[in-house]
Amino acid sequence: MDYQIIDIKGKETGNKISLDKNVFGIESNDHVVYLAIKQYMANNRQGTHKSKQRSEIIGSTRKIKKQKGTGTARAGSIKSPLFRGGGRAFGPNPRNYSFKLNKKVKKLAKKSVLSMKFSDKNVIILDKFNFKKDSVKECLKMLTDLGINDEKSLLISADKNVHLLRSSKNLKKVNVTNSNEIDIYSLLNANKIVFSKDAIKNVETLLK
């Protein structure tokens, strides 16, 4: 699979890159993608929700009214879930929502999403990100030249690129990561994915 490499101005460089079709050209497995997204979302949940049970409410334990003769239901404690300020029945408790997936399943999910993005022509391969300083203006110009300034974009560099990260920090629709830290949610959520030449080779090596 050969793909055209373009420069930061959106012009063809005349060079092509050969990619493994077993990584970027497979048939998408929707169920595996669903499981990977479900795990990503579950692992990000804090699970710190908590409400007070009946035994945790501070208050008097005396019987609040006589048992009979009131014409209403019996009531033994102000802590009852039936009363305002009482404990909550079957309320939430802190818990861990995370669960594990096999490494092969997570790799297959990433390959499925990348293959889908390639087949839909939503992947751009750059020669490199030429950012020598922090500049939002230069980042916006690059996105405009690539024709993706109005798209949700994921920019992936080979290594951590501090200048690229800072230049895109205030751009709402732009997310930046490196080839060693890509996650399934960011890949699927982006309308356009922009790789540097070195980054896509690193991803290919990691997913083989």
CA angle at residue 75 from 73 to 76, to 5 degrees? 155
Same domain? 203 vs 110 = yes
CB burial string 121-149: b at 16+ within 10 A, e below? ebbbbbeebebeeeeeebbeebbeebebb
CATH number of the domain to which 169 belongs: 3.40.1370.10
Same domain? 64 vs 8 = no
Same domain? 158 vs 55 = no
* Per-residue confidence in pLDDT tens, the chain, 208 aa: 788 888 888 788 888 888 888 889 899 999 999 999 999 999 999 999 999 999 999 988 889 899 999 999 999 899 999 999 999 999 999 999 999 999 999 999 999 999 999 999 999 999 888 888 888 888 898 888 888 888 899 999 888 888 888 988 888 889 999 988 899 999 999 999 999 888 999 999 999 8
pTM of the complete model = 0.81
Same domain? 40 vs 61 = no
User: Which is it for the CA torsion 164, 167, 170, 172, positive or negative?
Assistant: negative
* pLDDT at site 33: 95
Name the strand (E) or helix (H) holding 17. strand 12-18
Same domain? 129 vs 41 = yes
Same domain? 118 vs 184 = yes
| Helix/strand/coil for 140 | helix
Same domain? 141 vs 55 = no
Same domain? 155 vs 57 = no
* pLDDT at site 51: 94
Same domain? 28 vs 77 = no
CB burial string 160-196: b at 16+ within 10 A, e below? ebebbbbbbeebeebbbbbbeebebebbbebebbbbb
Same domain? 129 vs 31 = yes
Domain of residue 166, residue span: 2-46+99-207
Could you give the number of structural domains in the chain?
A: 2
Same domain? 179 vs 194 = yes
Same domain? 31 vs 67 = no
Domain's final residue, options 38, 60, 91:
91
